[in-house]
Chain A
């Protein structure tokens, strides 16, 4: 494993925390509530990242600087959800991308109660519950907290202190309504086909070169190798191809080299079905549904 990427791994495997979160959810495991969409993705293709490209012009590949990968994957899913909702004609607007630092802080402190101490990282379950219970902030200046641009230092700080209390009411205006655990490839592609996005947290690693870049084969698939305690997110799939696979979006900037199929965003690559099943079986990958977004605000100019 290239040393350049070691500090970016921040997924903590904690089955206990997953069970705790599941016990508090009305729809804990997706497969039990999948009837309406079951088998809808079978044999199909969905390039869900194109929804983001359509709204933003270019996919907003993130570039993490510390072990906050759980927040990165979560924010990616929320941004994808925002874009799909806008394309579906909801009266919303994409004002700026979802800020990752508050998600990290909320997951570790407000939900995780500081149980991970001074080390980096969080569980997929805790950050998922964080955005459901406490909501989200976006990239802008808030009172006492400038989230305009990503800061790894800010992520580390909020990861130790949590979100400042004065900002919790603002964050709560923009939560994710539903989170559910996703456990297998078949459920996953049904979700992706219906324009949902899914976080993926596991210990599965992939082959990287000496510079820490993920090396892809001729068909754009990453080679499974080693162990990465890492969270990313799924943005599409191709189940029609001779080699079924899912599109995984990483948060290390333009981090892939090698072959490519489709015009995937920077930092995205295919993972084989069997490997995806193995990753999901670790039971910390989540689908997020319905973001309470940003209504277009009318400005009252009757101020004179």
Chain B
């Protein structure tokens, strides 16, 4: 009985200590299985080498994290400019895998992000989630090409 009381007390005290906003449902659900977008991206880079996959994984994964948190970009056009800069920094050769563009444009359009709209939290979330799915698709493809190379 004492143990139950202690547990109830502990839980209720913890409840009091945690600010209420912490109970909001998490918007970002970790994607553990490949979505169709991820699969399509994986297929788009079928011809890519393991090293190319690593660069693309860094690109999509890094952008997914950055866009979600950054407040620097005010509209979708500025995100595109950011991506171009990241490609240069990572030494990525634009146009090497044209199917990436086909897949990207398809999903971006389905999200209504092919116009230069303001980058509010919803738009950030959409781009971030899509790039996260792309990154997982690339990761999966990289793993299939690794042949014992380190992850």
Contact = CB atoms under 8 A, between A and B. Distances in A.
A associates with B: yes
Interface of A: 95, 140, 296-304
A296 B116 CA distance: 7
A302 B101 contact: yes
A297 B78 CA distance: 12
Contact of B74 (A140, A296, A303): A140
A86 to B, nearest CB: 15
B74 A299 contact: no
A140 B114 CA distance: 21
A297 B77 contact: yes
Given A299-B108, A304-B104, 14 more contacts: A95-B118, A298-B115, A299-B113, A299-B116, A301-B80, A301-B114, A302-B101, A302-B105, A303-B94, A303-B101, A304-B87, A304-B94, A304-B95, A304-B97
B54 interface: no
Contact of B115 (A296, A302, A303): A296
How big is the B interface, by class? 20 to 34
Contacts of B118: 95
8 contacts: A299-B108, A299-B113, A299-B114, A299-B115, A300-B80, A303-B101, A304-B94, A304-B97
A301 B74 CA distance: 17
A299 B76 contact: yes
User: Which 10 A-B pairs have CB atoms at the shortest separation, nearest pair first?
Assistant: A297-B116, A304-B100, A302-B101, A301-B108, A301-B105, A301-B104, A304-B101, A299-B76, A299-B114, A299-B116
A303 B118 CA distance: 20
Nearest to B83: A303
Contacts of B94: 303-304
Interface string B86-129: 01000000110100110011001000011110100000000000
Nearest to B97: A304
A197 B101 CA distance: 45
Contacts of B114: 298-299, 301
B144 to A, nearest CB: 20
Contacts of B100: 304
A299 B74 CA distance: 14
Nearest to A148: B74
A56 to B, nearest CB: 13
Contacts of A301: 80, 101, 104-105, 108, 114
B84 interface: yes
Contacts of A304: 87, 94-95, 97, 100-101, 104
